[in-house]
Structure 1
Amino acid sequence: MAVRIGTFNIENLLTRFDFTGFRNQLRGDRVLRLYAIGNEAAYQRMEEARMISLTDDTRQLTALAIAEADADIICLQEVESLEALNAFEFGYLYRMMGEGYRQKYLIEGNDSRGIDVAVMMRETTRDGEPIEFVGIRTHATTTFQEFGLFDPSLADTEKPDDKIFRRDCLEIDVRIGGRPLTIYALHLKSMNSPRDGLDGRVATMPLRTAEARAVRHIIEARFGGEHAAAKNFVICGDMNDYQEKLVISGSKREGFTFTPMRGEQSALDVFSADGFAENAVARRPENDRWTLFHARGLIERHLCQLDYIWLSRGLAAANPKAVPDIIRNGQPYRTPFPPGQDVERFPRIGWDRPKASDHCPVVIELEIP
């Protein structure tokens, strides 16, 4: 019996407007800077109109990407609330897919912007096997001290009794045709932009590493230490870190080159260490694993994998030939594709917006032993 499991950061599925750009130009959208806006009330009207127009295009493209992934269970990141998710599923996904994701789960986490992780599930797989929800558990309130994970590398920004997860580790138990599967839905600490000479990724690495260690602790505590890797679990989500990247040089006129780089320290080493879990996307060719294009002008450009489906050792062994799909049709035209990977973009995709998301959905079909 096969089940398709996916993950997708759908980028700011919100139900509120942000008007702070009137007083802080760094928060304002670039298009509004083209206009002379006399007062805050006028600014709010224009911002509402801009967001409504852009959001309709964006969410059509987001829905197209999810429809293309065709997952039975999909983990989502950056969802404000179940109300927002229900409105999106009914108003956009339903029009493209018909009856689909009737089961939706979200528990409010710790993010200061109010974006959470969520999971949507069909009632049955494509083969007609029932997808039975068994239970859900949040770990949003877990502290460093509880798990013994506080160390000196965290001391500049954290305290022992602070919460570990910047969002949550959402633990969901299901049965696929009667067989158990546990899903850990994540959105790890983001990589900050470089500031004051500090590399943002390096500066935030201790917290992401602590989050990853906490996830592994949760799994091993539940399933029994070294025996945990043999159980049926997947770790899905936006990990905000990578173990390799494709460094981009050149230009559209001259031609781009894509140079693989490996060996940097990563918070995700916690999962791959001693074969605890397998990054399923690593089964794809080395230059075809990316899910996001990162650029700071021409100073720094690379493609990397931020979106992961980690398979337990048991699931990986039971599915030796399963290779994930990465849905890139919703990427904006500014994203350079390595040779042979270009795809037909969804209708109305722009240079940098509208787009389905800055991330790509990842989906894999698995047999549950």
Structure 2
Amino acid sequence: MRIASYNVENLFDRAKAMNLDSWEEGRPVLEAFAALNALLGEITYTPAMKTKMVELMIKLGLEKSDTGPFVILRRNRGGLLKRPTAGGIEILADGRADWVGSLELRDEPVNEHSMRNTARVMIDVEADILAVVEAESRPVLAAFNDTILPAIGGTAFRQVMVIDGNDERGIDVGLVTKPDHVIGLMRSHVDDLAPNGERIFSRDCPEFHVTLPSGKTLIVMVNHFKSKGFGSPATSNAKRRSQAERVKAIYEGLVAAGNELVVVLGDLNDTPGSAPLKPLIDGTNLRDVFTHPGFDNGGFPGTFGLCNAGNKIDYILLSPKLFEKVEVGGVFRTGMWPGSRPRRWDCYAELTKPHDAGSDHAAVWVDIDV
């Protein structure tokens, strides 16, 4: 069987702030959005909080309207704010109970060439079990599977599953499988809590119990750890370490219960030697498929961007029983922008500029005889 992992970076729609020419352009918007959302969720609004809310609303383009270039403030009931004719914003509410509504990121359609190149990767990797990272939702992934894949000559996957996660931007993790690899039991960890009471996972760490043609059960744990994109490095590192520690605990619990076929895969947003991933990489008997003699990295050590060593952030980690059954594996970069001076790898003919890329991530795959 072939197992693969692919960060699709959304399929049909993506937050406008995440669809700019570079991550650095969108980062201030996402940071302001996160900060304002946190303040709006407070039980009581202090004068200092109200001052900061106004500052962030202006930064997000909400001074004159509830619709900014990148966000929408939805006010269903209650009085959150008023906009005096003289200009500015005045926060009227004294806490979250005083108004009903939400702050949301605005979406825009993904580039059509990008969409089709994402589908080409999903087809050409030829996985029996494919972990999908950054899908908007199950209905979206199902629609993409049922319409876009066949439209460009591919065959739709038989099962499509996404469990809604914690990310307000609508980027979740899921699994798609071929007909003879059947998803059965599913267990979400979306509400697992850290000692400080915060939810551990940025998205989720779902367990998918897949029945193989042999009758054996494979447990697939799909992950998308906290990015380095916004927030302080110390906070982001601590979050990823907490996630790594929790995945380690879940994995060891599964092994203790007698499960020998377990794979942890996805976008872990850090390198193998990093301190945040140490509990998972060095603290368990999971083996990174990149270290197998039969694995071909295609001449580059990374999986993201230009695929340098510092961009090795996508993983397939295998339990010992799976690792010993590995035949071959590799990195599929044909849907990625190859750079221009010089081009680092061959890509699809339809990929003529960075925005046409199916993703900034490569797909990682492995063939296992189980």
SS in 2 for 1:105: strand
Matches within 5 A, 1:276-355: 276-283=285-292, 284=295, 288-293=300-305, 304-319=311-326, 322-334=327-339, 342-355=344-357
Distance 1:292 1:211, change over 3 A: same
Deviation at 1:344, TM superposition (A): 2.4
2:188 alignment partner in structure 1? 138
1:324 aligned partner, one-letter code: G
Matches within 5 A, 1:1-369: 3-15=1-13, 18=16, 51-52=108-109, 55-124=111-180, 131-145=181-195, 160-177=196-213, 178-192=215-229, 200=233, 203-224=235-256, 231-243=260-272, 264-273=273-282, 276-283=285-292, 284=295, 288-293=300-305, 304-319=311-326, 322-334=327-339, 342-368=344-370
- In 2, Cα distance between equivalents of 1:275 and 1:27: 36
SS in 2 for 1:334: coil
Deviation at 1:60, TM superposition (A): 0.5
Deviation at 1:87, TM superposition (A): 1.9
Cα displacement string for residues 180-236 of structure 1 (whole angstroms, at most 9, x for unaligned residues): 11000100111125x8xx6x3x541111011011011112123318x76xx100001
Deviation at 1:69, TM superposition (A): 0.6
Q: Please report the TM-score for the alignment, with normalisation by the length of structure 1.
A: 0.70
8 Å CA contact 2:209, 2:217 repeated in 1 = yes
- In 2, Cα distance between equivalents of 1:351 and 1:96: 20
- In 2, Cα distance between equivalents of 1:185 and 1:221: 16
2:190 aligned partner, one-letter code: A
- In 2, Cα distance between equivalents of 1:122 and 1:14: 22
Distance 1:306 1:336, change over 3 A: farther
SS in 2 for 1:324: strand
8 Å CA contact 1:75, 1:185 repeated in 2 = yes
1:56 aligned partner, one-letter code: E
Q: Out of 97-106 and 59-68, give the one that drifted further.
A: 97-106
Distance 1:337 1:122, change over 3 A: farther
8 Å CA contact 1:241, 1:266 repeated in 2 = no
- In 1, Cα distance between equivalents of 2:164 and 2:284: 32
Deviation at 1:55, TM superposition (A): 2.4
1:260 alignment partner in structure 2? none
- In 2, Cα distance between equivalents of 1:166 and 1:236: 15
Deviation at 1:26, TM superposition (A): 5.4
1:270 aligned partner, one-letter code: P
Distance 1:111 1:294, change over 3 A: farther
The size of the alignment, in residue pairs, is 289
Deviation at 1:17, TM superposition (A): 6.5
- In 2, Cα distance between equivalents of 1:73 and 1:138: 18
- In 2, Cα distance between equivalents of 1:348 and 1:285: 25
Deviation at 1:122, TM superposition (A): 0.8
Deviation at 1:285, TM superposition (A): 6.3
SS in 1 for 2:349: coil
Please tell me the root mean square deviation across aligned C-alpha atoms, in Å. Answer: 3.3
Q: Which runs of 5+ in 1 are unaligned?
A: 29-38, 45-49, 125-130, 146-159, 244-263, 296-300
Deviation at 1:347, TM superposition (A): 1.9
2:221 aligned partner, one-letter code: Y
Deviation at 1:333, TM superposition (A): 3.6
8 Å CA contact 1:333, 1:349 repeated in 2 = no
8 Å CA contact 1:58, 1:356 repeated in 2 = yes
- In 2, Cα distance between equivalents of 1:265 and 1:234: 20
Cα displacement string for residues 113-140 of structure 1 (whole angstroms, at most 9, x for unaligned residues): 121001000102xxxxxx2222111000
1:331 aligned partner, one-letter code: M
Deviation at 1:276, TM superposition (A): 1.3
Higher relative contact order (CA 8 A, sep 6+): 1
* Bigger CA radius of gyration: 2
8 Å CA contact 2:129, 2:176 repeated in 1 = yes
- In 1, Cα distance between equivalents of 2:269 and 2:15: 25
Deviation at 1:353, TM superposition (A): 1.5
2:36 alignment partner in structure 1? none
SS in 1 for 2:356: coil
8 Å CA contact 2:266, 2:316 repeated in 1 = yes
